[in-house]
A and B are shown apart, each in its own frame.
Chain A
Amino acid sequence: MTTASRTDSGFDFRLVVIAVAGGALSGFFGVGGGILLVPMILLFLAPARKVAHATSLGAIIALSFAGMVGFAMSDRVDWVVGVTLGAGGVIGGALGAQLMDKLSARTLRLIFAVVLVVAGVRMLF
């Protein structure tokens, strides 16, 4: 826990703002919310990149679960596909960790960035 950003009275208001913003993004769009949480944690709460990433991912367990319940209440969760997606994601994540040194992260990021832009435009219009 960082103490530098905390006042003696104990509570860091920025923490609440960050948590609410991350949670709202996650629940509204059905994503983890790391895209917002990681830079905000990095900037205000934990300056080490690895810690910011890992702490964000830990919080995302709770965010994604709560958001999932919110969608399930309207019967908008496909349980079978969700579990296989999750299993694939765990395998892909482990594979990614193995391949990390063999592939160029820069090239991959460029490819995925273009994929996002194209998908975004198609969904918008």
Chain B
Amino acid sequence: MGSLLDVVLGALIGVVAGLASGLAGIGGGVIMVPAMVFVLDFPQHLAQGTSLLAIVFTSAAGTVVNRRNSNVDVRLALTIGAIGALAAFAAARLANLVDADALRQMFGGFILLAGVRMLVQTLRGETPAKE
């Protein structure tokens, strides 16, 4: 479990990830997982599991605000959530069978693609609308 320094750094990483998603429209996970790996020296699997716990809180808080502004299609969110949760659980179990180095490399490929896509979109001026 985390030391005091981990906790303080964790909170800071959370703030940066929150700012990133609030201001730039990118998800917190792609920021939090590499930050935990490089700053907190977490193994890849622990970083991913911990990221998911953090996202439970951030997505719930964001949804409270979005509900107030009535932007949530509740039926659609519940349907995607219910079906998607089964897939998410199965995928998480699968990820836990994958070797840490291989998982880190796959994750690296994933965020590299996400970063390149974001660069291209932003340079083209296709900045997604902010909430």
Contacts and interface: CB of A to CB of B under 8 A. Distances in A.
Given A58-B72, A113-B118, A123-B104, A67 B50 contact: no
B89 A27 contact: yes
Range of interface residues on chain A? 35 or more
Interface of B is mostly: helix
Interface in B36-56: 36-38, 40, 42-43, 45-56
Contacts, number: 424
Among A37, A67, A108, residue most surrounded by chain B Cβ atoms (within 10 Å): A67
Interface of A: 1-2, 15-16, 18-35, 37-38, 41, 45-46, 49-51, 53-74, 76-97, 99-100, 103, 105-106, 108-110, 112-117, 119-125
Interface of B: 1-2, 6-8, 10-34, 36-38, 40, 42-43, 45-63, 66-67, 69, 71-96, 104-116, 118-119, 122-123, 127-131
